[in-house]
Amino acid sequence: MELEVNDNGVDSYEEVMLIYESALKQITTKLDILNREFQLVHKYNPIEHIKSRVKTPQSIVKKLKRHGYESTLQNMVKYCNDIAGVRIICDYTSDIYRIADMISNQSDIRVVAIKDYIEHPKPSGYESYHMIVLIPVYLSDRIVDTKVEIQIRTIAMDFWASLEHKIQYKFPGEVPQQIQDELLENAKMVSALDASMLKLNEEIREIAGEEEEL
């Protein structure tokens, strides 16, 4: 069963957040195991580091209001897909799709949505690979499939996205056009840098006679 809130109010905010926190722990543990296995077999770590977080009540309420929903527990569970979030940082764009495949191949994880902002960047220049997955959380009396948002991006993409996020807070209304234009140009440079570094890595591996890690 997917995470639902009973009409009689049995599921409290604390219980729901416990489930999201547990889902995060399971995802991050899986990723750590996959990364360590990859290192053992292929002598290479596709994951540079992992960040995880559960949205604060203030952030949840703000998002619901922005989309025109009342701030209820039911709406939180139904309409917020990113309450539990994991961000995976890797070195190269090829790692992004490799990691996404590793996650998708887990038998107890169900991918329910994908947004590829690398193939199709946002107008701002934002690039990242987003997945919404369902992972089972095992409670004492039931198993609850819980939504987790996973973002996978390179170090360069993450640096750009972090800067854009800070700028959005500086200008809560609309970011000045000049800054938007500069951000877009920087996003293009980030994309070019990622492509260049991937090409360089492939050249180094070819010279060293190493096989592709698959």
pLDDT tens for the chain, residues 1 to 214: 666 665 544 468 899 999 999 999 999 999 999 999 999 988 888 999 999 999 999 999 999 999 999 988 889 999 999 999 999 999 999 999 999 999 999 999 999 999 999 999 999 999 999 999 999 999 988 899 999 999 999 999 999 999 999 998 888 778 999 999 999 999 999 999 999 999 999 999 889 876 554 4
Interacting residues of 56 by C-beta distance below 8 A, sequence separation 6+: none
Q: Using CA atoms, how far apart are residues 210 and 204, in angstroms rounded to an integer?
A: 9
* 5-8 long-range Cβ contacts below 8 angstroms, 24+ apart: 5/73, 5/74, 5/77
Sheet of strand 47-54: strand arrangement? 47-54, 84-90, 143-154, 129-138, 110-116
pTM of the model: 0.89
Rounded to a whole number, what is the largest CA-CA distance in the chain? Answer: 66
Number of residues assigned to the chain: 214
Range 13-208: architecture per CATH:
2-Layer Sandwich (3.30)
